[in-house]
Chain A
Amino acid sequence: MYEFFDLTLSVFASTIRLAIPLILAAMAGMMSERSGIVNVGLEGKMLMAAFAAAATAAVTNDAWVGLAAGIMVSVLLSLLHGVACITYNGNQVVSGMAINILAAGLAPTLANAWFNRGGQTPMLSADGRHTAIHLPGIETVGDIPVIGDVYRLLISGHNMLVYIAILTPFIVAWILYATRFGLRLRAAGENPHALDTAGVSVSSIRYRAQIGCGILCGIAGAYLATAQSAAFSQNMTAGRGYLALAALIFGRWRPKPTLLACFLFAFTDAVQIRLQGTVIPGIGIIPVQMIQALPYLLTILLLAGFIGKSEAPKAIGLPFVKDR
């Protein structure tokens, strides 16, 4: 019984850790897509941010400077996406893919040139990483059975970025629904002509949404390279940008359902890691590759079982051209 409780707790704890980059990336996607810009480039932005954060943290030995660098690079890529999609009315999916390919080439190229470690960055010391914070009262509460374990393993003991990420959906929801910027951002995604004739520049709103998207992707990337791991390695995003996008679609472009979808994906991932090498009665050991494919398979099944067209922001993917 206690063993099972322990197992559940540790799966939940790793669910939280695995959910963090998904949540941040999905919320980044939300900022962009609710403003009407499709964002397939979350993957690439995270990857470049991961590299920038790890490289900077390695040189400065400061995790926060690394974070700032990650955010900066990711924002720059978002603006590039903006130039293609907003200023030049380009195909938004193609632009997103371009950013993914660009990042997949640029990050290892620069890593190689600057650190010469086969496309990796140097291992970070403790200062260069975002390390676990112990919340107050851990000594006293930590010893109480059940509650103490929950507090120690699930609530306390994460790094700062985890707490930031958990807050993000609520902040994004607040921005979208309670502020002027959010009202205009949603209008840009639903009917940009309405916004334009109301005297607000659609481009400026969409660019600002891109910046917001870049900031969140930047944090996500920094989390991967300077919190979850201690260095940048090639392809370390491993499709998380696409999973986040799927979570966003499955969450119908709304903060709370999207958050839940991210946890669902992270949970499968956590279970997947648990399952590796375990003998399942009657089946035996499931090949590791099959288990690793679980999140991708889940994504396909969820998307197939879900008709999401009517829920998407109406003007999504369409360049805003004034005359009709």
Chain B
Amino acid sequence: MRIHHKIDLPGWMEYLLIPLLNLLLAFLLTSIVVFYAGENPFDVFASLFQGALGTVDGTGYTLYYATNFIFTGLAVAIAFHGGLFNIGGEGQAYIAGVGVLLACFWLDQFSWWVVLPAAMLSAAVFGGLWAFIPGWLQAKRGSHVVITTIMFNYLAAALINYLLVDVLIAPNQQSPQSQAIASDQHLPLLRDMLGFFGVESRFSPLNISFFLALFACFVFWLLVWKSKFGYELRVIEQGEKVAKYAGIPPARLVMTVMVISGIFASMVAINVIMGEQHRLIIEYTNGAGFVGIAVALMGRNHPVGIIAAAILFGALYQGGSELAFDFPGLSRDMIVVIQGLVVLFCGAMENIFKPSLARLVIYLRRQKGV
């Protein structure tokens, strides 16, 4: 009978105003951290903004990072729709890197447009399998997917470190990284296309994976809200019993959605390995899986929101990478602080503003009614 349980807020409040207010709160608290770190918050945020969007290259990098975050955000979000919290995007993407690499090496005489579908498939198999096991454990053994996916992140790190140090390491190479893929297999960069239009960009690694990410968003939307699978997924979110009542096999669905989630995360490997680094480098995912949590929560598990949130975090990562040059006291870790606060406010404390907004809505409706 509580007020805010009964009232549905208007869409623009629920999906726009509340995330923005939460974001504002996160930035406010980060400013305090920046202040205690001995820097001026306004200067820092101005520099972040400049670094992220001030130049064509900066923007390119921002969108390049955003591509990763869209994939991991979709991965977290689709699991959320089934009531599962997949924290393993990091490990799934990491393992998928091996899949991409193997596809590239195997098809080494072909160029990128032949290799891309194969690499996507191979990444999906590797990353999907890495997500399937926790899904299976959850569905059949009741082991909580939060803990098992975290453990699988550690296992993925151990496994790939071993592969990179002992097996895949390039000859005459000191640091643990694999041989490079053939230059024919590099994904086309957007800067080359932009150059055609006369826009000058020299470094940005933004590549066609970005369009792949946008397409993935469309697939996500179809899957969750239009398909029978999505319908059943959203039934599962309420619990196992209602699923059984409706003729949906819960265990199967849990495993399926974990695999799909893993596949979304796996596409990070395409963007990074075929698009930028052109080899498998140790810890190449660089926390993208965890950023996905913040992106999904801030984007309200909706593709449009996820794109927006991913671009925001892309900007923060890009801006943050150059932060240390301007502000010796700060490092890129500061971005992780913002990320944590966004998860906190958009995820766990989403109810901060809701009751007062609900009261406002009721008040306004009553005014109208009278």
Contact = CB atoms under 8 A, between A and B. Distances in A.
Interface of A: 40, 80, 83-85, 88-95, 97-106, 108-110, 112-114, 116, 119, 239, 242, 245-246, 249, 287, 289-290, 292-293, 296-297, 299-300, 303-309, 321, 323
B341 A109 contact: no
Interface of B: 1-2, 33, 36-39, 85, 87, 137, 141-144, 146-148, 150-152, 154-155, 158-159, 161-162, 165-166, 290, 293-294, 297, 328-331, 333-341, 343-344, 347-352
A129 B351 CA distance: 42
Given A287-B165, A297-B151, 18 more contacts: A88-B348, A95-B347, A95-B349, A97-B85, A101-B294, A102-B341, A103-B340, A104-B336, A105-B335, A106-B340, A112-B331, A112-B333, A119-B331, A242-B150, A245-B147, A290-B162, A296-B154, A304-B141
B273 to A, nearest CB: 21
7 contacts: A84-B349, A94-B297, A98-B343, A98-B347, A110-B37, A289-B162, A303-B141
A22 B1 CA distance: 43
A99 B340 contact: yes
B37 A299 contact: no
Contact of A88 (B159, B339, B352): B352
A280 to B, nearest CB: 16
Contacts of B166: 287
Is chain B's interface secondary structure helix, strand, loop, or mixed overall?
A: helix
Given A95-B348, A110-B36, A105 B147 contact: no
A239 B153 CA distance: 10
A84 B142 contact: no
A49 B197 CA distance: 54
B26 to A, nearest CB: 10
Given A83-B349, A98-B340, A246 B147 contact: yes
Contacts of B352: 88
B1 A108 contact: no
A292 B147 contact: no
Contacts of A249: 144, 147
Nearest to A106: B337
Contact of A296 (B141, B151, B165, B337): B151
B187 to A, nearest CB: 30
Is chain A's interface secondary structure helix, strand, loop, or mixed overall?
A: helix
Given A88-B351, A94-B347, A287-B166, A242 B147 contact: yes
Contact of B155 (A101, A109, A297, A309): A297
Contacts of A93: 85, 146
Given A287-B162, A293-B159, A299-B151, A105 B333 contact: yes
A74 B151 CA distance: 24
Nearest to B163: A289
B158 A293 contact: yes
A186 to B, nearest CB: 22
A113 B44 CA distance: 14
Contact of B154 (A98, A114, A293): A293
A10 B343 CA distance: 43
A303 B329 contact: no
A304 B137 contact: yes
Contact of B344 (A84, A110, A112): A84
Nearest to A302: B143
A91 B347 CA distance: 7
B337 A98 contact: no
Contacts of A108: 331, 333
A89 B351 contact: yes
Given A289-B159, A296-B155, A303-B143, A90 B85 contact: no
Given A109-B334, A307-B141, A308-B142, A300 B151 contact: yes
B344 A98 contact: yes
B340 A104 contact: yes
Contacts of A113: 36-39, 329-330
| Chain A to chain B: the 3 pairs with minimum beta-carbon distance, closest first | A105-B336, A102-B340, A95-B348
A93 B146 CA distance: 8
User: Looking at A102, A246, A290, which has the most chain B CB atoms within 10 Å of its CB?
Assistant: A102
Given A88-B352, A297-B155, A97 B333 contact: no
Contact of B33 (A103, A106, A304): A106
B333 A119 contact: yes
B88 to A, nearest CB: 12
Contacts of B87: 97
Contact of A303 (B39, B148, B162, B290): B148
B101 to A, nearest CB: 18
Contacts of B340: 98-106
Given A109-B334, A116-B328, A292 B343 contact: no
A108 B324 CA distance: 13
Contacts of A98: 340-341, 343-344, 347-348
Contacts of B143: 300, 303-304, 306
Nearest to B343: A98
B286 to A, nearest CB: 13
Contact of A112 (B329, B335, B351): B329
A88 B85 CA distance: 20
Contacts of B339: 101, 105
Contacts of A110: 33, 36-37
A157 B190 CA distance: 63
A90 B142 contact: no
B344 A95 contact: yes
A249 to B, nearest CB: 8
B344 A102 contact: yes
A113 B347 CA distance: 28
B247 to A, nearest CB: 24
A94 B85 contact: yes
Nearest to A90: B348
B268 to A, nearest CB: 18
Contact of A105 (B158, B334, B347): B334
B293 A101 contact: yes
A90 B353 CA distance: 12
